[in-house]
Amino acid sequence: MSDIIIVGAGCAGLTAAIYAARAGKSVTILENEGVGGQISTSPRVENYPGFKSISGMEFSDKLFEQACDLGAELELARAESIEKNAEGFTVKTEFGDYPARAVILATGCRHRRLELPEEERFVGKGLSYCAVCDGAFFKGKTVAVVGGGSAALQSALMLAEICEKVYLIHRRDTYRAEEKLVEQVGAAANLEPVLNATVSSLNGTDSLESVTVAVNGGRSEIKTDGLFVCIGQQADNAAFASLVALDENGYIVAGEDCRTSCEGVFAAGDCRTKQVRQLTTAAADGAVAALAACRV
């Protein structure tokens, strides 16, 4: 039995592992995808204290290495459900059960999709949700980015450095991103904004060839070799709905103390109800949740 099981190996989960391990607790981290969470796909992190500029992947690797060096153990498995019992909790996965005295849910969020009929068919064939992961495949080509937040603009700027042309499609006439990023987009010569527009269809035979956008009451076709979807994230906490309270959007109801409706279960990072979802707040949650779990 572990003292603490942490579900999720993003910034919040790894920070929790570091704090719990330093407190002398045995820690098991369960992760079903990859270490680092969403930040690992960010080309540059420039707003985390102590790092003027660092890639999201390098940042994640450093966190993971630190947690492991302190004794935390990683298991690649998806937490399918959690049961409360007399000794604590049992986290059930497809590969077996993991008992623990306390649980920290740090499941983060997942990419929001366009919900178009052709979307699944073009994933990996021109359609991507990660410019860092797949951008290099489109060097010298024409691509489009959908979204108006900081992540979308950051992806568009990164792609503009290696692609011949980048279209930035956004459903509103103003961006929701940081002002500095908006200024950089305006200054990029090969980056063309397509505002008040939504993607209505994805077109192509074996791979993506163009996208149709509804813009200003009409429709137009944009020829593109690739489309990067950056329209936000959504929580993935349905598996824990019988254990902890969720809000109407599927986020775990927990305050700044990271305590959930179930004693002994804590929520840290983007998966919980909160106003600000940033790397710094994820790390703060991880520390708060870990110290609270250590007292269980």
Strands (E), 126-196: 127-128, 142-146, 165-169, 191-194
d(CA 207, CA 169): 20
189 contacts 216 by C-beta, under 8 angstroms = no
Q: Which two tokens stand for residue 109?
A: 């969020």
Q: Which residues of 161-176 are buried (b: 16+ CB within 10 A; e: fewer)?
A: eebebbbbbbbeeebe
CA 161 – CA 10 distance, rounded (Å): 27
- Whether 72 and 17 have beta carbons less than 8 Å apart is answered as yes
Beta bridge pairs of residue 262: none
User: Catalytic one among 3, 134, 225, 270?
Assistant: 134
Cα–Cα distance, 64 to 74 (Å, whole number): 9
Helix (H, G, I), strand (E, B) or coil at 3: strand
- Catalytic hit among 61, 68, 130, 236: 130
From the list 61, 68, 133, 236, the catalytic residue is: 133
Helical axes 56-69 vs 11-22, angle rounded to 10°: 20
* Pair 282, 270: CB distance under 8 Å: yes
Cβ atoms within 10 Å, residue 44: 15
Say how far apart CA 208 and CA 218 lie, in whole Å.
Answer: 22
Give the span between the Cα atoms of 210 and 213, in whole angstroms. 10
* Residue 134 known to be catalytic: yes
Catalytic residue positions?
130, 133-134
